[in-house]
């Protein structure tokens, strides 16, 4: 590692197909960091099982997510790209950190409250303690920065609390990570409910766009996107949430500013605007979908990528884990 470079760790759960929000809010920013930072990205399959998953689907989505990440421009030679469950140190450090995380801290996590409400018949221990596993994900790699959406910032703050507690007891073991929230495209909202973040769970409602969706499906979703009774295309996040969300998406896809987009659609109405947004997204995603399709046809290459990624990630993670095990008093194997 180049010591001058900041180290970054992030991941996305393969609990559904990657969405437009995943791409604009996370992966596109990851790609831009490859030359300036030391980057580690995982397919967070261990986090996915806090909610029941179909095993075959989880395996398919994990490999498909890897292929889509590479198709988005995440070069596995420049970045360490791996599957979380292939690096046992995540679970091993996760348990140690469980023992340094307070019940009250976990109880206050807003995502636990939200997911408990949505999965009332499966409020398992993993759902409660997964912020400790997320802390392990970050601290294993001594990450400087953690690219997150606003909804995950609370977990990075908890990670810092856990690291501080551990360091206070045992000395400077963990680096203190900082949340990094991109200024552009950090939060893409649902096309059907612009007050909620675009979610994989909305695939059947038309609220989200997935990277592998067909052009026809993408156009259909944008034409049905919720707007308002007005006809002006202008940016007003409080009064015109639907239109403002579409403007954010259009500007990200077309590479222009909000004022430029407003001027382009002055006096043109919502029909023409929604069509233009759909067409811009179709063209942005076309090369990604086509390249991911090719990669998914080469299973040997993808296996080579995730094996190499697991080996490189394990080398870094192992150094941290050995230090932690020694500090807490475990006998060296």
290 CB-near residues (< 8 Å, 6+ apart): none
**Is 326 an annotated catalytic residue?**
no
Query: Out of 5, 13, 78, 115, which one is annotated catalytic?
Result: 115
Q: Which two tokens stand for residue 137?
A: 């994900």
Predicted local distance difference test score (pLDDT) of residue 182: 66
pLDDT of amino acid 1: 46
Specify whether 200 is catalytic: yes
- Digit-by-digit pLDDT tens for the chain (333 residues) are 455 789 999 999 998 889 999 899 889 888 989 999 999 999 999 999 998 999 999 999 999 999 999 999 999 999 999 999 999 999 999 999 999 999 999 988 887 877 777 778 888 998 899 999 999 999 999 999 998 877 778 889 999 999 999 999 999 999 999 998 766 555 789 999 998 888 877 666 788 999 999 999 999 999 999 999 888 999 999 999 999 999 999 999 999 999 999 999 998 999 999 999 999 999 999 999 999 999 999 999 999 999 999 999 999 999 999 999 999 999 998
Contact by Cβ (8 Å): 309, 82: yes
Give the C-alpha separation, 217 to 239, whole Å.
28
Domains along the chain with CATH numbers: 6-181+298-328 (3.40.50.620), 200-294 (1.10.240.10)
Q: Which long-range contacts (CB under 8 A, 24 or more apart) does 51-54 make?
A: 51/15, 51/115, 51/119, 51/122, 51/127, 52/122, 53/15
Q: Is the Cα dihedral 180, 184, 185, 189 positive or negative? A: positive
251: helix, coil or strand? helix
Token pair of 235, please?
A: 């940016």
Catalytic residue among 13, 28, 197, 240: 197
Contacts for 301-309: CB closer than 8 Å, 24+ residues apart:
302/63, 302/66, 302/67, 305/66, 305/70, 305/76, 305/81, 306/63, 306/66, 306/81, 306/82, 306/83, 306/86, 307/86, 308/76, 309/76, 309/80, 309/81, 309/82, 309/83, 309/86
**pLDDT of the residue at 32:** 87
Q: Which of 13, 200, 240, 274 is catalytic?
A: 200
Ramachandran angles phi, psi of 51, nearest 5°: -115, 140
- Residue 289's pLDDT is 97
Task: Please give the order of strands across the beta sheet that includes 6-12.
Answer: 80-83, 37-43, 6-12, 145-147, 178-180
- Under DSSP, is residue 163 helix (H, G, I), strand (E, B) or coil? helix
Q: Residue 95 corresponds to which tokens in the numbers above?
A: 């348990």
């Amino acid at each position: 590692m180049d010591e001058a470079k900041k180290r970054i760790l992030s991941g996305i759960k393969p609990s559904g197909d990657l969405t437009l929000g995943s791409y604009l809010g996370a992966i596109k920013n990851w790609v831009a960091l490859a030359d300036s930072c030391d980057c580690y990205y995982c397919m967070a399959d261990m986090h996915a099982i806090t909610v029941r998953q179909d095993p075959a689907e989880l395996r398919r989505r994990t490999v498909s997510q890897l292929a889509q990440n590479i198709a988005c421009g995440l070069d596995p030679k420049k970045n360490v790209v791996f599957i979380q469950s292939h690096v046992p140190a995540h679970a091993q450090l996760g348990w140690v950190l469980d023992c340094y995380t307070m019940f009250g801290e976990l109880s206050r996590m807003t995502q636990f409250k939200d997911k408990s409400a949505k999965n009332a018949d499966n409020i398992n221990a993993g759902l409660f303690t997964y912020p400790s596993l997320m802390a392990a994900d970050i601290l294993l790699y001594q990450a400087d920065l953690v690219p997150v959406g606003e909804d995950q910032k609370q977990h990075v703050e908890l990670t810092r609390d856990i690291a501080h507690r551990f360091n206070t007891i045992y000395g400077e073991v963990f680096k203190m990570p900082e949340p990094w929230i991109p200024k552009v495209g950090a939060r893409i909202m649902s096309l059907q409910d612009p007050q909620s973040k675009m979610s994989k769970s909305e695939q059947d409602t038309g609220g989200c766009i997935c990277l592998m969706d067909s052009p026809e499906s993408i156009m259909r979703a944008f034409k049905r996107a919720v707007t308002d009774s007005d006809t002006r295309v202008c940016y007003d996040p409080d009064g015109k949430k639907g239109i403002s969300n579409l403007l954010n998406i259009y500007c990200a896809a077309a590479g222009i500013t909000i004022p430029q987009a407003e001027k382009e659609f002055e006096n043109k109405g919502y029909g023409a605007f929604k069509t233009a947004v759909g067409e811009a997204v179709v063209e942005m995603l076309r090369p990604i979908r086509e390249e991911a399709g090719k990669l998914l046809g080469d299973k040997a290459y993808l296996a080579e990528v995730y094996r190499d990624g697991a080996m490189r990630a394990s080398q870094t993670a192992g150094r941290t884990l050995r230090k932690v095990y020694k500090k807490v008093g475990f006998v060296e194997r």
